[in-house]
Amino acid sequence: MPNLQTLATQIRANQLDLLDKIWLKVRPEDKADKIIANVVNLTQNSLNTMASTLVLLDRDGKQEMYFQLADGPTAKQLNRLNIGRQSGITGWVIQNGKPMLVNNPEKNSGFFKLIDDATGFRTKHALAAPLISRGKVIGVIEALNKVNGTPFSRHDLNTILDVATTASMAFEGYNTNNDLLISYQNTVRALVSLADAKETSGGGHSRRLVEYALMGARELGLNKQQQQSIEYAALLHDIGKLSIPDNILNKVEKLTDKEWVLMKKHPIVGYEILRDIPFLKEASLLILYHHERYDGGGYPQGLHGDNIPLGSRLIAVVDAFDNMTTEHSYRSALTQQQAFAELAKNAGDQFCALAVKAFNTGYVRTRLTKKKRPVY
């Protein structure tokens, strides 16, 4: 028979193993629906229960709460069921911010029978724990009826508290990440507005570049983070032109040597504007090199071949394509077919052949997909 110290060590080891599983499944960077689903499923699997629910307080501050997700045989009936904030075991946990273990809920004066009546499910044992973020209760995780019919134990209570604590951290991280993302988007919008003020090609150039660049990025199999950096770089690739006088940007005649030296500095200026913004650091490098040529004849550093970042090579291709297919005061636009022919002709010299092929394939695939969509 194991001694108490050995038993305590084993129990704690089991709890640490559970925490590892929670962290693997519940991550702040996930979408809210995925966090919710993983928390509920993990609760049910860890405690071996017949059903489990996660209740989150209404985000509009109303006095109701909603079953965001329920798992088990009564899931369809429970999902989105609206109950009063002060009702039942869940309401008590929200009001008091403490866990609750009830092994005979029908004998409990606070038991909320509406759910059982609505679903036909009979709650014999209930275990609930609050989700607390920044000192406030944001929801409740609840487990109902162990599969083997036994009551919930103190060990089960510790288990659900571990799940609730980690879930709270995940939701707090999600909200922080969401707020940060909104801040990022606002920053990019402001920067794009500045860059657009210097645009000379009739409007929409940067946004078209995003569309084109992502076609190629997807075709190359780049991951989401790489695609995001390419999107930011395409949007802001010309922000360095803020340093170029309008009389040079709008000049129809050939630039003088002095003017051309100034013009060729805009990728460096763009890099310097963005490099200290953490979420734009990778994009700033793509901007720095987007005027490099595959044969080494580009600027600002004269990089050659695969020494040029792939994202920069791709942006160089789509930038040229959009310039060729856009009407300018000094020349007429080429057709898309003519522009692709020019890209192919210069692949391996001015442009990276891999980037040209990826964009061409992605462009055709996207256009074919759009044509096949039914019209309603």
CB 170 within 8 A of CB 196: no
pLDDT grade, residue 375 (50/70/90)? very low
Which one is predicted more confidently, 141 or 15?
A: 141
Please say if the pLDDT value at position 79 is more than 70: no
b/e sequence 343-364, b meaning 16+ C-beta within 10 Å? beebbeebbbbbbbbbbbebbe
Please classify residue 102 by burial: count the beta carbons closer than 10 Å to its beta carbon, then call 0-12 exposed, 13-18 middle and 19+ buried.
Answer: buried
pLDDT at residue 321, as a whole number: 97
Q: 339 or 108: whose pLDDT is higher?
A: 339
Q: What is the pLDDT of residue 264?
A: 93
Q: How far apart are the first and last CA of the chain?
A: 72
Domain spans, the chain = 4-174, 185-372
Q: How many CB atoms lie within 10 A of CB 367?
A: 12
What's the rounded mean pLDDT across residues 131-148?
A: 85
Least confident of 23-27, 95-99, 204-208, 331-335: 23-27
Domain made up of 185-372: CATH architecture:
Orthogonal Bundle (1.10)
Look at residue 176 in the predicted model and tell me its pLDDT: 58
The pLDDT tens digits of the residues spanning 109-129 come to 555 455 555 555 567 888 899
Predicted local distance difference test score (pLDDT) of residue 179: 61
Are 243 and 266 in contact by the 8 Å Cβ rule? The answer is: yes
Place of tokens 């209570």: 157
Cα distance between residue 250 and residue 84, in whole Å: 65
Q: What is the tens place of the pLDDT at every residue in 229-278? A: 999 999 889 888 888 888 888 888 888 999 999 999 999 999 998 888 88
The reported pLDDT for the residue numbered 173 is 65
- Residue 354 pLDDT > 90, yes or no? yes
Residue 198 has pLDDT above 50, yes or no: yes
| pLDDT at site 315 | 98
Report the pLDDT value the prediction gives residue 359, as an integer from 0 to 100.
Answer: 97
Out of 104-118, 156-170, 181-195, 222-236, least confident range? 104-118
Residue-wise pLDDT for 5-39, tens only, equals 565 565 555 555 655 555 555 554 556 667 677 77
Order of strands, sheet of 64-71, starting from the edge strand that comes earlier in the sequence? 82-84, 64-71, 49-57, 136-146, 126-133, 100-102
- What is the structure's pLDDT at 7? 53
At residue 80, does pLDDT exceed 80?
Answer: no
pLDDT band (50, 70, 90) for residue 46? confident
- Residue 4, pLDDT above cutoff 60: no
Given a contact cutoff of 8 angstroms between Cβ atoms, the answer to whether 364 and 357 are in contact is no
Model confidence at 174, pLDDT cuts 50, 70, 90, reads low
pLDDT value at 366 more than 50: yes
Q: Specify the fold of 4-174.
A: Beta-Lactamase (3.30.450)
Does the pLDDT of residue 108 top 70, yes or no? no
Res 63: pLDDT: 41
Beta bridge partner(s), residue 53: 70, 142
Which tokens go with 319? 């930038």
Domains 4-174 and 185-372 share a fold: no
CB contact at 8 A, 35 and 41:
no
Q: Is the pLDDT of residue 302 over 70?
A: yes
> Count of alpha carbons within 13 Å of 304, Cβ hemisphere only?
2
Least confident window among 36-40, 43-47, 307-311: 36-40
